[in-house]
A and B are shown apart, each in its own frame.
Chain A
Amino acid sequence: MNPAAVPANPPVATAFFFYLLAAVMIIGGILVITRKNAVHSAMALITTLLAQAALYLMLYAPFVAGVQIILYAGGIMVLFLFVIMLISIERTQRERQFNKQWLVGIAAAAALGGLFIAVYTTTTSGRTLFPEGRLTYPEGDNTQRVAALLFDRATGTYMFAFEIASLLLLVAIIGAVVMAKKRI
């Protein structure tokens, strides 16, 4: 490990901020799946997304944090709110909110949670599967490095995947336009 790569000013109170943001995210997630009003769910989801962007900053990923705020909280959630305005929410608020197989759904989620716990508590020779990895780097050139992986001719491992992603977005635009036409 290269000691010169360790930042001169190590981050402070990471545990406090992690647990604070984690609590915000969990509470926001619970509100998303329990609120009657879809607008309230959307607001809770925006809170969760912003807390997650802060966690990205703590993980030394400022570019992903910016993309998260601009694209997710700013773009996708506005799309959601538009659609909530287009469909009538008054009627759905008076109806049953959970479907008939909610018990089976929660049982399936509990089984999945048991699987997660089993995986994350597995130890091989006294260590969990994902032990350390705490050495962090200055995030100043993070965006350049991400761009080098995406665009650069020599080091761009994901250049082709990037082009395919643009094609996917084109297909999605066409699909959304066709779906929103008057008669389909």
Chain B
Amino acid sequence: MHAMLDVSTLHYLVLGAALFLLGVIGVLTRRNVVIVLMSIELILNAVNLNLVAFSRYWQGIQGPGALHGQVFSIFVITDAAAEAAVGLGILIAFFRNKETVNVDEVNLLKW
């Protein structure tokens, strides 16, 4: 029914893993807080891609109503919106106080 070249769930999972790793590298190595937040968005999107791919996988087993992965990805997008709003609000407050956006200069709570 399908050719060998058809795109399977594993293809999407590998792409999601690659994006996830790019996001992890960005979070761990960059100094600019804005780019760290964007890397977090990359991670969330990798998770979303996995969820929607699994949703298709599950639809193939359970029928067209098994859209739990897609519903979860909508919740993840909601969380991402909330996180971006609060995180960028914190960033503005921090920039107003310290005149910097570098993560390694954020040491107010360091003992």
Enumerate chain A interface residues (CB-CB to B < 8 A): 1-2, 5, 14-15, 18, 22, 25-26, 29-30, 32-33, 35, 38, 41-42, 45, 48-49, 52, 55-56, 58-61, 63-64, 67-68, 71-72, 75-76, 79-80, 83-84, 86-87, 92, 95-102, 104-106, 108-109, 112-113, 116, 120, 128, 130-137, 141-142, 145-146, 148-150, 155, 157-158, 161, 165, 168-169, 171-173, 175-180, 184
Main secondary structure of the interface of B (DSSP, over half): helix
B6 / chain A contacts, CB cutoff of 8 Å:
14-15, 134
| A177 and chain B: residue at smallest CB distance | B89
Contact A133 B56 (CB under 8 A): yes
Question: Are the CB atoms of A83 and B82 closer together than 8 Å?
Answer: no
- Size class of the B contact interface (CB-based, 8 Å): 35 or more
How far does the alpha carbon of A142 sit from the alpha carbon of B59 in the complex, in Å? 11
Asked, given contacts A59-B12, A99-B103, whether A145 binds B65 with beta carbons under 8 Å apart, the answer is yes
CB distance A41 to B2 under 8 Å?
no
Name the B residues within 8 Å of A64 (CB-CB). 48, 52, 70, 73-74
* A32 in contact with B26 (CB, 8 Å): yes
A29 touches B73 (CB 8 A): no
CA distance A54 to B101 in the complex (A): 33
Q: Is the CB of B60 within 8 A of A146?
A: no
- B residues less than 8 Å from A173 (CB atoms): 85
Chain B residue numbers with a CB within 8 Å of A133 are 8-9, 56-61
Q: Is the CB–CB distance between B25 and A168 below 8 Å?
A: no
Instruction: Say whether A99 contacts B42, CB under 8 Å.
Output: no
User: Does A180 contact B32, Cβ atoms closer than 8 Å?
Assistant: no
Residue of B with least CB distance to A158: B71
Determine the chain A residues whose CB is within 8 A of the CB of B41 once the complex forms. 45, 72, 76
A-B pairs with beta carbons under 8 A, tally:
258
Enumerate chain B interface residues (CB-CB to A < 8 A).
2, 5-15, 17-32, 34-35, 37-39, 41-42, 45, 48-49, 52-53, 55-61, 63-65, 67-68, 70-71, 73-75, 77-86, 88-93, 95, 101-104
Contacts of A58 in B (CB 8 A): 7
Query: Inside 8 A of B79's CB, which chain A residues have their CB?
Result: 165, 168
In the complex formed, the residue of B with least CB distance to A135 is B60
Which 9 pairs between the two chains have the least Cβ-Cβ distance?
A: A105-B28, A179-B89, A133-B57, A172-B82, A33-B26, A135-B60, A29-B22, A102-B29, A176-B89
CB atoms of B24 and A132 under 8 A apart: no
